[in-house]
Amino acid sequence: MKEFRVIQQRERCIGCGACQEAAPGRWAMSAKDGKSILIGGKEKRGYHQVTIDETELEENLAAARNCPVLIIRILQSVARDP
């Protein structure tokens, strides 16, 4: 099964909730600052990232498309040789 990376630049989030509406299993809104939270994501150099598989791809692509500030990207992970 193919894997994909969801990458979010959280500090630029405007808190509209479009991502949560498209993919509620992967996105939530913070009660603290009103910005979106990438569920299961880890922060790395200012970006929050998580790996997903094909079962979550379509709804997360919709989250990326619906984001008015374009801070969500989906990249296909490259398989590495052992």
Residue 82 lies in a domain: no
The pLDDT assigned to 1 comes to: 85
Look at the chain and report how many structural domains it folds into.
1
- Which structural domain, as residue segments, surrounds residue 15? 3-76
> What pLDDT sits at residue 63?
99
Q: pLDDT digits over 12-68, tens only? A: 999 999 999 999 999 999 999 999 999 999 999 999 999 999 999 999 999 999 999
The reply to whether 81 falls in a domain is no
Q: Tell whether 36 is covered by a domain.
A: yes
pLDDT at 80: 62
55 found inside a domain:
yes
- The CATH number linked to 44 is 3.30.70.20
Strands, E, within the chain: which ranges?
3-8, 27-29, 36-38, 42-44, 47-53, 72-76
